[in-house]
Structure 1
Amino acid sequence: MNDILHRVGITASPEDVYAALTTIDGLAGWWTEDTRGDSAVGGVTEFRFAGAPDPAGFDMLVLDAQPGELVRWEVVGGPEEWIGTKIRFELFRADEYTIVLFRHEGWKEPVEFMYHCSTKWATFLMSLKRLVETGKGEPAPNDVRVSNWH
């Protein structure tokens, strides 16, 4: 199996970062404005991206949410390459930063789409950083375009 890994430091409390990862408004503020569903453990959160190739979004089953520490999802809807993969945000404090250790794990093989998704995750994690630090992220459709796949 193959994983996408990123590390980001955010100058905010773990609780503020956690809120951006576990509320519909928070998620819509950094990933995609078209976010809906149930963000509680056991719920499914739906993320949609206008103009993206079909299927134009992802459905995430919320597996775990430990305040200020951990958020885990399983992809239950979306592109074939994503189905069954898991997404993990680990949070911990280091000086004035909350460190986010991000994993999108369980890719069957490192296909070209995985490379694209790694780059997009990096841009969206920077959007998360901006949202929590400044109050304004860059969620889709206002995100950085990196290719014809958006």
Structure 2
Amino acid sequence: MVDIRHRLGVRAATADVYAALATAEGVAGWWTTDTRGDGGPGGRLELAFRGADEPYVMEVVDADPGTRVRWRVAQGPAEWVGTYVDFRLRASGDVTVVLFTHEGWAEPVEFLHHCSTKWATFLLSLRELVETGRGRPQPHDLWVDDWG
């Protein structure tokens, strides 16, 4: 198994970062504007992306306020289905440290490399959203390669 990992500092309270991860409105502010559903424990988020035939579906398997959000990918790219997207939060002074993992990839295919870069851009979008009130969700996201 292969994982994507990133570490990010956000100049905000953990509660504010958590709200951007655990609500459909929050996720729409940093990942894709076309987000629906319930980001709370036991909920499901549906996210539409340009070029995708079907929405991605994230099942919320853990949502511990101010500490952690964990999703299981139920629908999306074949390489993603059955993987987990995990955000662990902790305060460090006036910064919230986000430890991000997209875990459980079967192998390090080229798409994993693309997704690692895109996750980095979306995590920076998360920081922008929480710190300034405006992120860069799709379709306003940073273009990185021929896959978007």
- Normalised by the size of structure 2, how large is the TM-score? 0.97
SS of the residue corresponding to residue 118 of structure 1 reads helix
Aligned partner letter, 2:94: E
Structure 1 residue ranges (4+ consecutive) displaced by more than 6 angstroms after TM superposition:
none
Q: Which residue of 2 aligns with 1:17?
A: 17
Aligned partner letter, 1:5: R
Pick closer, same or farther for the CA change 1:115–1:56 going to 2, 3 Å: farther
Greater displacement, 35-44 / 95-104: 35-44
Correspondence list, 1:47-62, <5 A: 47-50=47-50, 52=51, 54-55=52-53, 57-62=55-60
Q: What residue ranges of structure 2 are gaps of 5+ in the alignment?
A: none
Percent identity of equivalent pairs: 56
- Normalised by the size of structure 1, how large is the TM-score? 0.96
Distance in 2, matches of 1:21 and 1:147, equals 26
Is residue 2:131 matched to residue 1:140? no
Distance in 1, matches of 2:21 and 2:87, equals 8
Distance in 2, matches of 1:95 and 1:139, equals 28
For residue 57 of structure 1, report the CA deviation from its aligned partner: 3.8
Distance in 1, matches of 2:20 and 2:109, equals 30
For residue 142 of structure 1, report the CA deviation from its aligned partner: 0.1
Q: What residue ranges of structure 1 are gaps of 5+ in the alignment?
A: none
Q: Which residue of 1 aligns with 2:26?
A: 26
Distance in 1, matches of 2:144 and 2:96, equals 27
